[in-house]
Amino acid sequence: MKASCVVGFDGTRHVLWRDGEVVIEGSRVLFVGRGFPGPVGQWIDYGNALLGPGFIDLDALGDLDSTVLSMDNGDENAMGRMWSAEYLARGPQESYSFDEEVFKYRYAFTQLIRNGITTAMPITSMYYREWAETYDEFAAVAGVAAELGLRTYLGPCYMSGMQYLQADGSRAEHWDEARGLAGLDAAERFFRDFDGTRGGLIRGALLPDRIQTCTPALLQRTAALSRELAAPVRLHCCQGPGEVALVKALRGKAPLAWLEELDLLGPRAVLPHGIYIEGDDDLARLAHSGASLVHCPVVFARDGEALDSFGRYRAHGVNFALGTDTCPADLLDNMRQGLNIARLKEGGSTQTSALDLYNAATLGGAKALGRDDLGRLAPGAKADITLFSLDGLHLGPLFDPLKNLILAGRGDDCIASWIDGRCVMQDGQVNGVDYASLQRQAQRQFHRLMQSHADRAFGQPDWRTLFQPAIPFADAWSADRPLCTLASPNDDKR
């Protein structure tokens, strides 16, 4: 492949080749630079584009994103997102059918590829589940990932508890230890059956839900299994003051100290989001452990929250990966907003650079996974390659392609993607996917998801009353009119 700009790796850092070449053979990179001396079966010239390593998203949305429902919608507790005591007493139910659960991953994985993400560790919401995820579901999800060609770290999420809302507005915890341990058994079975399959494209991971929804026994067994299988463990922690207070109340320690006690704080630990860390002692503990933080700046900034200093964490030696955790699945947007937020929090531009965020999306994610063959383009590395067009008018006049993309680029500037040496997207089209059909089915499912909010809310109100648009609707809702009009090619135009 040829492009006007190629991001290579010199063994220590990314370097930029002007009018560069990348030669791949099978699933591996053979050469990066200029003037390849050997025979080549086919040259592909991508012209004015940035050819670089694929992005790694370690908190990748695998769902139909519901944050649009809670945005500027008042008290989230009243909208039926969180379980109510009434709902818990009646017995939680699945919001989707089995096929719909699998479809949401197809929809999300397509979005990831479309935005230049080549390696993903997906995340979905448990509020819409009867309990947690299942082995059979993920056996099907692995098939979807392999069909699309996305490199994934998969496993059913498991948990031993769930917070719910009481009638007085306070929160309480519901525990089911047996169900949590059964979920871990399913995760182990999935790992043993699927890790390394599809030519290594599918890898296993242990994915407990959140630190406050897991009991000591569940996390202790997770730690032991991680050691036995050499499996990465992703655990959401330090992401809110309520979580930190609850962990202290239940376990007598702050989250990171508790994980250290459980022997879960180590190089295989992948921890979104790490915003609420208690001072330099916790940062030193985190850095010394070798654990990685997954930084997801966009989704937290929407609620007015942010990491206090990306640069300070890095100065302590903390390894950062990046995640999206919401729609759009745009890591360029997360780099841009992450950079801006870091400089606002740090009061200047000296502690955090654009390259720091790009490194997190590539080399940092690879380090978190223990992979020295991902996140870089060098001989022997996996041929996970993305091409971002530099022709867009919105990018402005070019000086440095990476700076232009981080300042003004967007995920759909990605025009081609290769994963494991296979072209999975060309000219912005993911292979084998009908975008219009995909969007129509997603809209139908999302309509059902909105309706399910009424079941979880106290009193099971009319679901139409639970969501407020940014601009008030001019007419009243009738019983037969959906909140969103679903257009199809056969619908009358109106």
Chain segment 3-34, per-residue pLDDT in tens: 999 999 999 999 999 999 999 999 999 999 99
pLDDT at position 485:
52
Record the pTM: 0.96
Where are the domains positioned within the chain? Answer: 1-53+375-430, 54-373
Look up the CATH superfamily of 1-53+375-430. Urease, subunit C, domain 1 (2.30.40.10)
For the sheet containing 202-204, what is the strand order?
202-204, 151-154, 117-123, 55-61, 319-322, 292-295, 269-271, 233-234
Binning pLDDT at 50, 70 and 90, where does residue 490 land?
very low
Instruction: Name the token pair of 222.
Output: 């997770």
Share of the chain above pLDDT 90, in %: 92
Same topology, domains 1-53+375-430 and 54-373? Answer is no
- The CB-side HSE value for 374 (13 A sphere, CA atoms) comes to 26
**pLDDT at 488 > cutoff 90:** no
The pLDDT value recorded for residue 487 is 45
Q: What is the mean pLDDT of residues 328-341?
A: 98
pLDDT above 80 (res 189): yes
Three-state SS string across 12-62, please?
CCEEEEEEEEEEEECCEEEEEECCCCCCCCCCCECCCEEEEECEEEEEEEC
Please state, as a whole number, how many other Cβ atoms lie within 10 Å of the Cβ of residue 26. 10
Residue 334 has pLDDT above 90, yes or no: yes
Query: For residue 482, what pLDDT is reported?
Result: 56
Please tell me the predicted confidence (pLDDT) of residue 131. Answer: 97
> What pLDDT score does 279 carry?
81
pLDDT of 472:
87
Confidence of residue 494 (pLDDT cuts 50, 70, 90): very low
> What pLDDT, on the 0 to 100 scale, is given for residue 484?
56
Q: Which two tokens stand for residue 169?
A: 């507005």
Query: Is 492 a residue whose pLDDT tops 80?
Result: no
Is the peptide bond preceding residue 472 cis, with omega within 30 degrees of 0?
no
Decide if 213 contacts 162 (C-beta within 8 A).
yes
The tens digit of pLDDT for each residue in 169-180 reads 999 999 999 999
Question: Over the chain, what is the mean pLDDT?
Answer: 94
Q: How far apart are CA 317 and CA 222, in angstroms?
A: 26
What CATH superfamily is the domain 54-373?
Metal-dependent hydrolases (3.20.20.140)
Task: Determine the pLDDT at residue 281.
Answer: 87
Question: Residues 342-363: what's their mean pLDDT?
Answer: 98
Query: Is residue 455 predicted with pLDDT exceeding 60?
Result: yes
Whole-number percent of the chain with pLDDT over 70 = 96
Does residue 323 have a pLDDT over 90?
Answer: yes
- Distance of alpha carbon 95 from the chain centroid: 21
Q: What is the mean pLDDT of residues 361-383?
A: 98
Say if residues 60 and 122 touch (Cβ distance below 8 Å).
yes
Residues 459-485: pLDDT tens digits? 999 998 999 889 988 887 654 555 555
Q: Quick one: pLDDT at residue 340?
A: 98
